[in-house]
Amino acid sequence: MLWVGLSGGIGSGKSTVSARLAALGAVVVDADRVAREVVEPGMPALAEIVDRFGPQVVGAGGTLDRAALGAVVFSDADARRDLEAITHPRIAARTRELVAAAPEDAVVVHDIPLLVELDRAADYALTVIVDVPAEVRLRRLVELRGTPEAEARRRIAAQADDASRHAAADVLLDNSGTVEELHAQVDRLWSGRLVPYEAALRAGRAARRPETLAVVEHDDRWPDQAARLLDRLRAALGDRAQRLDHIGSTSVAGLPAKDVVDLQVVVADLAVVDDPAVRRELARRGFVVVDDGREWFDHAHGAGGPADATWPKRMVATADPGRVVHCHVRESESPAWRLALLFRDWLRAEPGERERYAALKAGLLAQGLSTSAYAAAKEPWFAEAFPRAEAWAARTGWQPG
């Protein structure tokens, strides 16, 4: 099962996306619908809402007057928090029931308006945001829904801003055009990413780049992508993770790299990734433990001792065909995690060394090497570079942050 979060500001067209995904075969869990269920007449939540906000929030027939309640909570942060304390636990319980009832091979889409406001992006394997500028949403609310402009502005202001949504988004769907254009984007997302992502995740198969080597210019989106992935790992591992970092070439501004985000997780014991509970939490967020028969290790560059010494590690990756990730799981007793941070920070601080490394990459790329051969061919340079990095650390007093 693939667990996807779908959100967007009021008036963005999120419901159009949700309906299209349902038509394509997704199991859609509509947070608004669940929220209405838990406050139906006779439900405990409705009684608590009346106690807190008064009988004026109940309309004819004893049903909740959502407009009357909304007029209160959209302009009063304390009132909104009180309402959420009543409804959110019940909404969460009902959501779990619906997700548990989905087929094992389902793409389950959680249509949730407050995904960003509730800081829920790390709960999902993928977060999809329907993106429309605030002024366009305002016009749609006024012209298409008949919402008074002042009320529309208040509702938009009470939600997350566009920058916050962009930061939470793995996928941005641009809905500034026609419905047909939006449907085409959703169809491509479904067939090109969601369906293969679910199949790979269920099979425990990590996403990989092809053996045809490709090194690209630095992408300014890499750090934001890494931050979202680290948040997911943090949510999955809890206090088992002693630290989590973005490492490797994608973490160094201006450095060309393979389009693979390298991450590092430091743990007390590598066996943590064999815990079934940990694997379930990782899978919920799109990660698989790479169990392909290989023994994973780090070369002991710059650490003294035998030149061929190694330190064991484990590998975790995403099953997402749209974002290849290599997560190196290292024990706190291993010197490798410190060296990974040293190498990153040294390249960030020393333009000359960064240029030397970029030149090495370009030279190897020109040889037509495969991806695997390219990785092996860089090892001699690493062995020479790490003593220079250590000298820089001693000179500057560098320590892992």
DSSP code string of 255-271: --B-S-EEEEEEES-GG
Between 364 and 293, name the one with better pLDDT. Answer: 364
Q: Which residues contact 391 (CB under 8 A, 6 or more apart)?
A: none
CA 113 to CA 117: how far, in whole Å?
A: 9
Please state whether the predicted TM-score (pTM) of the whole model is above 0.85.
Answer: yes
Residues 188 and 226 in one domain: no
Q: Starting at the edge strand that comes first in sequence, how are the strands of the sheet with 171-174 ordered? A: 27-30, 107-111, 2-8, 126-131, 171-174
Q: pLDDT digit string (tens) for 181-217?
A: 999 999 999 999 999 999 999 999 999 988 889 999 9
75 assigned binding-site residue: no
Domain final residue, candidates 168, 203, 238: 203
CA gap 5, 92 in Å, rounded: 14
Residue 310 maps to a domain: yes
Domain shared by 380 and 318, yes or no: yes
Flag whether 208 is in a domain: no
Q: State whether 109 and 70 are in the same domain.
A: yes
* Predicted pLDDT of residue 308: 65
List C-alpha distances in Å: 10 to 57, 79, 140, 189, 383.
22, 20, 10, 22, 54
The answer on 117 and 266 residing in a single domain is no
In a domain, residue 336? The reply is yes
Within 10 A of 236 (CB to CB), how many other CB atoms are there? 24
CB 249 within 8 A of CB 258: yes
Is 313 labeled as ligand-binding? no
Packing angle between helix 276-284 and helix 222-237, nearest 10 degrees? 140
Q: How far is CA 158 from the centre of its chain?
A: 24
Residue 136 confidence (pLDDT): 75
209 found inside a domain? no
Name the domain count of the chain: 2
- Asked if residue 85 has pLDDT above 70, the reply is yes
First vs last C-alpha separation in the chain: 37
Tokens coding 346: 């040294």
Judge if 153 and 194 occupy the same domain.
yes
Kindly state whether residues 52 and 197 are assigned to the same domain: yes
* Least confident stretch, 107-116, 131-140, 198-207: 131-140
Task: Examine the fold and report which residue of 203, 232, 257 is the final residue of a domain before the chain moves on.
Answer: 203
Residue 154 is part of a domain; what is its CATH number?
Answer: 3.40.50.300
Element (H or E) spanning 292, and its range? none
Decide if 273 is inside a domain.
yes
Is there a binding annotation on residue 251?
A: no
Q: Is the pLDDT of residue 10 over 70?
A: yes
- Domain end, chosen from 170, 203, 236, is at 203
198 and 228 inside one domain? no
38 lies in some domain = yes
243 & 344 share domain: yes
Is 378 annotated as ligand-binding? no
Residue 182: its pLDDT value, please? 95
Cα 121 to Cα 226: distance, rounded to the nearest angstrom: 13
Residues 235 and 335 in one domain: yes
User: Does residue 212 belong to any structural domain of this protein?
Assistant: no
- Is the residue at 215 inside a domain? no
State which residues form the domain around 125: 2-203
Give the CATH number of the domain where residue 342 resides. 3.30.460.10
Beta pairing partners, 5: 110, 127
Does 227 share its domain with 141?
no
Q: Give Cα separations from 169 to 117, 131, 165, 299, 324 (angstroms).
A: 13, 10, 6, 35, 16
Same domain, 188 and 236: no
Which residue type sits at 178?
T
Residue 375's closest CA among 309, 326, 320?
326
Q: Is 25 annotated as a binding residue?
A: no
**Annotated binding residue 18:** no
Question: Are 182 and 253 found together in one domain?
Answer: no
